[in-house]
Amino acid sequence: MMKDETENNTEMETPIPRTEAMEVVEQDNINDHLTPELRSQMIKFIASPVHCKLFVEKISMKGDSEYRKAEIILARETNKKPSTLEYYVHYVEFNKRLDEWVPFKRLDFNRGVEFPKPNAKKTKKNGHLDTSSTGSRASTPSHSVKKRQDSEANTPGGGQDDIIGEEIDKETTAEADEEFSKEQEIEKLRTSGSMTQNLSEIARVKNMNRIQMGEHEIETWYFSPYPKEYAYCDTLYICEFCLLYYESHKQLERHRTRCQLQHPPGNEIYRKDDISFFEIDGRKQKTWCRNLCLLSKLFLDHKMLYYDVDPFLFYCMTKRDELGCHLIGYFSKEKESADNYNVACILTLPQYQRHGYGKLLIAFSYELSKVEGRTGSPEKPLSDLGLMSYRAYWTDTIVGFLLSTSEEVTIEEISQKTAITTQDILHTLQSIGALKYYRGQHIICLGDKVVEQWERIQQKKKRVISPEKLDWRPIHFTSSQLSTLIATVLSTITQPGEGETWIVGQTVTISIAPGKKSETVNLFLDHDRSIIIGGGDIENGKTIHFLVPASAVNPNGGPAMLIAVYRIERYLNSVDIVNINIV
């Protein structure tokens, strides 16, 4: 009995933040609007809200509202005066792109609160985050950057959108070997945009609820690493032409009086009716491309943000009126793709979805591949809606081609005519049941339902890409354009000879190249382009030393020359360069 009283006293002595929510509870108690049981339940919730489930008022963009059961993911104390609490909620059985920050007044305690089980992992600081203190921008983790292919394997999954990725499990357990608590990790990610240590948390918390872009007010879906000062913006105001962002509508209006841009800052390579495509080089238009990536990350869950837009070309689709060319969507592609991808990332902005623009973007990417004389494919894996969009295009194109010819064709011939890879063609034919086994060989046989569905689609009015309207030639980049000379090897204890490899533990001395003030040097293997050791900043006239690690030995038995003279853009993104790109 004494033990129970002690526990109760300890619970009552737990400090509860003096917030608007607490004042509401106390005021309602004075007015006898709350029963003692309900008030006790609310106090318990306020003290530790994370992972609790209760009904929350969901308000649509039209102003309609309904109550849905939701789980509290995080609580934060706002910077408003007086201080208020906001809760980041995930609506049960709904896609996580509907997650949002809600004020205390939208929580419904009358239907009860489902508290987490006692053995559930408790969060620190009673589930609250102290975000009032200011600090410098969180730095990027100092561990070595891996190959881009390795990063893709660890990319968190996506929700229902038009791009590439797979959904991760909501109950993912990324708690082993954590360097930060979840609250610290999420807060650092939310306010500073640093790369996360726990990749599962990237898609959990978004930092703003909506954006205003032109005449459209759009609910955001996911987190995007906008600067810290915009972390508490309920609505972010974005210029639809230059993509600069502001905290208030008045600031945006003042900017619009000075902004002269009326279309994406690149070359117009296609125009038909009111639709235009612009090609933008990430190296030449860094700021605009970074802003585009920040904007698109609000609607992409599975994509990682990297720090360099230089290796990418951006193809932006716009709709033209008397005010200018309004951005509809875009796709990016590597200037030199080792895997023959023709799309790195693709997005149709939410206000233009369900109008056929996504398929138009896909069609345009394949039209470029035809001009290049090669087949192409989007980066894999595809998200659910991304797969649906591409499968719809592949099916429409392949079935249309088969119906247009009376001769026998092979998979390779279909690939040559459509620029779709043979793997994607086989995948599509299997998905529509068109691959049959007949007399010891596989044949393509279109069913009546497939043909009828294709004919129904053709009857609908839709936009198509007209190749004759495309004014574009493939850009060929030289090795000097893809690489940047940043340093030279001055000396080594033992220089590897032909057919030899580096000696583990030997010292390599690096000096900055002439004309370079400060660069970051990384050593990586020439035979497989994998980074084996992170470098550091060096200045002109100074040197930096490396010890050759055991991983420098070529597992294939051949020479494993350490490269320190080139920074290959498509393989290496320096951790100290704060540029952003969705890959």
Q: Please, what is the Cα angle at 260 between 255 and 262, to 5 degrees?
A: 110
Environment class of residue 429 by beta-carbon count within 10 Å: exposed (0-12), middle (13-18) or buried (19+)?
Answer: buried
Question: Do the strands 85-91 and 107-108 form a parallel or antiparallel pair, or are they unpaired?
Answer: unpaired
Q: Where are the beta strands (DSSP E) in 282-408?
A: 305-306, 312-321, 324-334, 341-343, 345-348, 377-378
Residue type, 572: L
Got the DSSP string for 41-66?
HHHHHHHS-TT-EEEEEEE-TTS-EE
Catalytic residue among 240, 367, 379, 569: 379
Q: Which own/partner pairs from 135-140 qualify as long-range (CB within 8 Å, at least 24 positions apart)?
A: 137/192, 137/193, 137/194, 137/228, 138/188, 138/192, 138/193, 138/194, 139/194, 140/194, 140/195, 140/307, 140/575, 140/576
User: Are the C-beta atoms of residues 313 and 333 closer than 8 Å to each other?
Assistant: yes
Q: Measuring CA to CA, which residue among 578, 581, 157 is closest to residue 345?
A: 581
Which H or E element spans position 436?
Answer: strand 435-438
> How many whole angstroms separate alpha carbon 255 and alpha carbon 246?
9
Q: Measuring CA to CA, which residue among 344, 286, 370, 279 is closest to residue 317?
A: 279
> How many whole angstroms separate alpha carbon 559 and alpha carbon 525?
10
> How many whole angstroms separate alpha carbon 515 and alpha carbon 563?
20
Which H or E element spans position 27?
Answer: helix 20-30
Distances in whole angstroms, Cα of residue 154 to Cα of each of 61, 197, 381: 34, 11, 12
Q: Please, what is the Cα angle at 443 between 438 and 412, to 5 degrees?
A: 150
Q: Is the peptide bond before 82 cis (omega within 30 degrees of 0)?
A: yes
Rounded to the nearest 10 degrees, the angle between the axes of helix 36-47 and helix 20-30 is 170
Kindly report the length of the chain: 583
DSSP state of 565: S
322 is catalytic: no
Structure tokens at 113: 């609160």
Structure tokens at 355: 């109008």
Active site residues: 379
